[in-house]
Amino acid sequence: EINIELPDEQAAEAAQRIKIGLYFATWWALNVVFNIYNKKVLNAFPYPWLTSTLSLAAGSLMMMISWATRVAETPKVDLEFWKMLLPVAVAHTIGHVAATVSMSKVAVSFTHIIKSGEPAFSVLVSRFLLGDTFPLTVYLSLLPIIGGCSLAALTELNFNMIGFMGAMISNLAFVFRNIFSKKGMKGKSVSGMNYYACLSMLSLLILTPFAIAVEGHQMWAAGWQKAVSQIGPNFVRWVVAQSVFYHLYNQVSYMSLDQISPLTFSIGNTMKRISVIVSSIIIFHTPVQPINALGAAIAILGTFLYSQAKQ
Ligand code: 3PG
């Protein structure tokens, strides 16, 4: 007879690992679905400022309903909390709209290849703005990240400068978002889910006037009519799907950020990008040259080396 009973500590660790695994799998799956609907919408309706506003609005609405119906506990937050959240929300808004603008101009896979370079931005910001220092191996791991992203960008068949810059700006903004939100979540009693809910609401307030100024209701109305006449009622379903899935994947990612270190989080995020890159290439029949794929692979390998070096 084999005794498979585990000591308590080991059992708890195994349970935690399963829980994190489930969070990660859910996060990636939701993200793949978001990316596909988001691109389908943008192909038919190229107004990324509106679609990114709608994603935040859907999340805000879902959370308000959850609080009102007590599905989720209403967070107890004060003015101090909102003040601390403001820089996080500014960074989240910029990162989100920049990524969406990028995806409206280039293939989803290209945006995510450039976004796999986020660790390089994180190191550079920490080094030059915060004065942190890292072991030499961390700096060396940036070489394949930067080299791989550059190779992928140079050999991208449908390169577009706005698409490239959008993904770069998103990288920079999200580095600040992560630094600020780590500070803001520390010592607070607000759960990851509610923290992200408040973040969406504040970002929605920030983004709405800019979206109206940049695109505006006349463009939206004309574009909407055109998209509905081309695609039919499915178009509205796609818009709802991209908005709801955007909220859900971010919510799950913040729920997991609650449980794991920022480093584990960023490794999870890179693995997420592999599934998005592969699935979007298949679904949208994105043309890729071998040298282009090699660049992406080098960049992603660099991210793994970076995570090893940081450990
Ligand atoms: C967005 O719209 O905010 C981006 O798709 C987010 O990208 P990320 O969560 O994959 O970094």
pLDDT band at 6 (very low <50, low <70, confident <90, very high): low
By most ligand atoms within 8 Å of CB, the mutation choice from 108, 114, 115, 246 for ligand 1 is: 115
- Rounded Cα distance, 270 and 304, in Å: 8
Given a cut of 90, whether residue 97 has pLDDT beyond it is yes
**C-alpha 188 – ligand 1 centre gap (Å):** 25
- Rounded Cα distance, 252 and 250, in Å: 5
Instruction: Give the residue from 164, 66, 47 showing the smallest Cα distance to 117.
Output: 164
DSSP SS3 for 133: coil
**C-alpha 38 – ligand 1 centre gap (Å):** 11
Higher pLDDT, 95 or 258: 95
Q: What percent of the chain has pLDDT over 70?
A: 97
- Rounded Cα distance, 165 and 147, in Å: 17
Flag the least confident range among 6-10, 150-154, 208-212, 283-287: 6-10
Given a cut of 80, whether residue 184 has pLDDT beyond it is no
Given a cut of 90, whether residue 290 has pLDDT beyond it is yes
Task: Encode pLDDT of 231-263 as tens digits.
Answer: 999 999 999 999 999 999 999 998 887 788 777
pLDDT band at 5 (very low <50, low <70, confident <90, very high): low
User: Environment class of residue 157 by beta-carbon count within 10 Å: exposed (0-12), middle (13-18) or buried (19+)?
Assistant: exposed
- What is this model's ipTM? 0.93
Ligand 1 atom with minimal separation from the 92 CA? 3
Higher pLDDT, 38 or 119: 38
pLDDT band at 76 (very low <50, low <70, confident <90, very high): very high
Higher pLDDT, 273 or 3: 273
- Rounded Cα distance, 147 and 184, in Å: 33
What is the predicted pLDDT for the residue at 68? 97
pLDDT band at 83 (very low <50, low <70, confident <90, very high): very high
Given a cut of 90, whether residue 187 has pLDDT beyond it is no
- Rounded Cα distance, 105 and 111, in Å: 9
